[in-house]
Amino acid sequence: MTYPLALRQLAVEKVRQKEMTQAKAAKFFKIGITTLKAWLTAKTLNPKTRRTPRTLKVSHPRLLAILKETPDATLKEIAYMAGVSDFCIRYHFKLLKITRKKNDPVPRTR
């Protein structure tokens, strides 16, 4: 939920005209002091209508192509080829519902 534009303008105007301090204006308009400071430094007071989408570090088609080229590669090797961290590869494998269990060449004993 965003604050109305009229409230933003009024709060910023009161502080800029030195009718109120930032702390008093924040308390009077029942907003956070950090919010008021952000409004004072913002280029425009218009609220954002939508969030910017999150960008992926590696695309899923690229990841599937790497898997097709080297199906026996480990997670670290795939991460090196894609140019990202192994955690990033694990995250994308989880999204794609791909499991990568490897058999250990040396059986472990208890």
What tens digit of pLDDT does each residue of 67-101 get?
Answer: 899 888 888 999 999 999 989 999 999 989 988 66
Which is more confident, 109 or 55?
55
Arithmetic mean of pLDDT over the chain? 88
Helices (H), the chain: 5-16, 22-29, 33-41, 60-69, 75-82, 86-96
Handedness of CA 20, 24, 29, 32 (dihedral sign): positive
pLDDT of 110 reads 65
Q: pLDDT category, 108, cuts 50, 70, 90?
A: low
